Structure 1
Amino acid sequence: MGLQTRINSAVEAAIRIGQGGIPPAKLSDALHYACTPGGARIRPTILMSVAMACGDDSPKMADAAAAALELMHCASLVHDDLPCFDDAAIRRGKPSVHRAYSEPLAVLAGDSLIILAFEVLAMAAEHSPDRAVRLIRILTRQSGMPYGICAGQGWESEAKIDLSAYHQSKTGALFIAATQMGAIAAGQDEEPWFELGARIGEAFQVADDLRDALYDSETLGKPVGQDDLHGRPNAVAVLGVDGAQSRLRDILSGAISSIPSCPGEAQLAEMVRMQAERLTPVPLTRTARAG
């Protein structure tokens, strides 16, 4: 089974848990809609790659961790798109959940996916209670306050923003969760994997800032110019296009250098390089917005 197939199967299995019994039909559909198609599945791909680099001695734990992380990410997108935040009409090339189902159902879908993420990890405790508890702890830390994606969203309501804390919480948190949860799922200590996740998260943020400033909505599959519209700090505004591109290259180089020693270190470095190619914007003359 290929890695993407394995991840998608784990996510689909998790969604079915939330659709069990006799659920309200529209909310049940919204759960699936929010998670599929799944885009690049970057975070669970990193998680699985770390687990495999560390031996992947408990595939069911890795599957549960990957599914939970992706459910949390999808929940954050549903909430990000709401009118009270970005008011985004499209996501992944289709109407955002609140446009397709209504605002109340989007709020409930996001909430349900968050709860489902932790249910998936709790159910995995039958394979290894210790690992399940550690996975829950990491996902909680990187999702809530004071360091997780909730904190990242909260920084946008502050008059003065700590840019480093903002970026690490809003974007870096779930990448840190990805590397650390991958290590835990394979029975390894999570602490050595923090730096790799933080660096990948920072690279993703800089790349996202570049795409937001330079690409059109058709290319991205979501609204563009959101940083300018909402007055958010971003790498392009601070460093300029050339400076942001240079910063992106430096971060990605550091990410590869930070990979802890493990049996699959070489393969993991190649995965990071592949993700770097996906992150790095293509020559801007091909996709930049006109005028």
Structure 2
Amino acid sequence: MDMHKRINAAVARAVALGQTGKAPSQLSTALGYATTPGGARIRPTILMSVALACGDDRPELSDAAAAALELIHCASLVHDDLPCFDDADLRRGKPSVHRAYSEPLAVLTGDSLIVLAFEVLARAAPHAPDRAMQLVLTLARQTGMPNGICAGQGWESEARIDLSAYHQSKTGALFIAATQMGAVAAGQEAEPWHELGARIGEAFQVADDLRDALYDIETLGKPAGQDDLHGRPNAVASLGVDGAIRRLKDILSGAIASIPSCPGEAKLAEMVRLQAERLTPVVEPVQAKA
């Protein structure tokens, strides 16, 4: 099974756990709606790539970690789109969950996906209890406070924003979780993988800032111009388009250089390069909105 199919299968199994028994039908279907289609599944792809590079000796644990991470990411998107935050009508080219199902069900969908993520890790614990506990701790740290994605959302309510802390939490946290959880699932220490995740996360934040500034709603599959609309700090506002593009390339070069020594180091570096290529066309002016 190729990696993308493996990840999608793991996510599908995880979502199915929340759809069994006498579950309320609308909330049950909303879980599937919020997690499909999955797009590139970039965070679990990074996690799985790291696990494979480190040996992937407990594939059941790697699958659970990848699914749990993706569930947290999808939950964050559901909550991001709510009227109290971005009030976005579209996500991944289709109506956002609160538009398709109602605001109360969107809140419950996001909450349910978060809880389900940790259930998935708990269920995988028999395969390697010590690793599973570290996976739970790592994901919790990068999801909540003081430095996880909840903190990232919280920074938007502050009168003065620490741009570095904001980006590290808002976008970087789940990329740090991806690299660290991939290593832990394969029996490696988490800390050496922090820098790689942080650099990839920073690169994606800069790329997202560029997409938001340059692209239209049809290209993005979600509302454009949100940073400007909500007055958020972003790389384009700080550095300009050309400066943001240069910054993106510098970060990606640094990410490759930061990969810890491991059996699959060369393949992992190639994965990062492929992600760099995936990001680069996004910032080409020829596709920018008028």
Residue 45 of structure 2 is matched in structure 1 by 45
Q: What aligned pairs does 1:73-88 form with structure 2 within 5 A after superposition?
A: 73-88=73-88
Q: What aligned pairs does 1:92-111 form with structure 2 within 5 A after superposition?
A: 92-111=92-111
Residue 276 of structure 2 is matched in structure 1 by 276
Quote the Cα distance in structure 2 between the aligned partners of 1:56 and 1:185. 7
Letter paired with 1:269: A
Quote the Cα distance in structure 1 between the aligned partners of 2:66 and 2:165. 25
Letter paired with 1:267: K
Q: Percent identity?
A: 80
Residue 237 of structure 1 is matched in structure 2 by 237
Instruction: Compute the displacement of 1:277 (Å).
Output: 1.1
Q: What aligned pairs does 1:110-259 form with structure 2 within 5 A after superposition?
A: 110-259=110-259
State the Cα deviation string for residues 7-34 of structure 1 (Å, max 9, x = none). Answer: 0000000000011111000000000000
Letter paired with 1:205: Q
Quote the Cα distance in structure 2 between the aligned partners of 1:6 and 1:271. 17
State the Cα deviation string for residues 115-140 of structure 1 (Å, max 9, x = none). Answer: 00000000010111101100000000
Letter paired with 1:32: G
Letter paired with 2:157: S
Quote the Cα distance in structure 1 between the aligned partners of 2:33 and 2:195. 33
Quote the Cα distance in structure 2 between the aligned partners of 1:280 and 1:112. 35
Instruction: Compute the displacement of 1:286 (Å).
Output: 3.0
Letter paired with 1:98: H
Instruction: Compute the displacement of 1:280 (Å).
Output: 2.0
Does the residue aligned with 1:15 lie in a helix, a strand or coil? helix
State the Cα deviation string for residues 53-81 of structure 1 (Å, max 9, x = none). Answer: 00000000000000000000000000000
Residues 125, 133 of structure 1: 8 Å contact kept = yes
Residues 207, 281 of structure 1: 8 Å contact kept = no
Quote the Cα distance in structure 1 between the aligned partners of 2:64 and 2:18. 14
Letter paired with 1:151: A
Letter paired with 1:287: Q
Distance 1:112 1:282, change over 3 A: closer
TM-score (norm 2): 0.99
Letter paired with 1:41: R
Quote the Cα distance in structure 2 between the aligned partners of 1:273 and 1:71. 26
Which stretches of structure 1, 4 residues or longer, exceed 4 Å deviation after superposition? none
Letter paired with 1:165: A
Instruction: Compute the displacement of 1:278 (Å).
Output: 1.2
Matched residues, number: 290
Structure 1: any 5+ residue segments left out of the alignment? none
Residues 211, 281 of structure 1: 8 Å contact kept = no
Quote the Cα distance in structure 2 between the aligned partners of 1:76 and 1:205. 15
Residues 214, 283 of structure 2: 8 Å contact kept = no
Structure 2: any 5+ residue segments left out of the alignment? none
Residue 72 of structure 2 is matched in structure 1 by 72
Letter paired with 1:155: W
Residues 211, 283 of structure 2: 8 Å contact kept = no
Instruction: Compute the displacement of 1:287 (Å).
Output: 1.5
Letter paired with 1:47: L
Instruction: Compute the displacement of 1:281 (Å).
Output: 3.5
Letter paired with 2:94: K
Does the residue aligned with 1:29 lie in a helix, a strand or coil? helix
Instruction: Compute the displacement of 1:284 (Å).
Output: 3.1
Does the residue aligned with 1:32 lie in a helix, a strand or coil? helix
Instruction: Compute the displacement of 1:224 (Å).
Output: 0.3
Quote the Cα distance in structure 2 between the aligned partners of 1:19 and 1:284. 42
Letter paired with 2:33: Y
Instruction: Compute the displacement of 1:283 (Å).
Output: 5.9
Letter paired with 2:103: E
Residues 216, 287 of structure 1: 8 Å contact kept = no
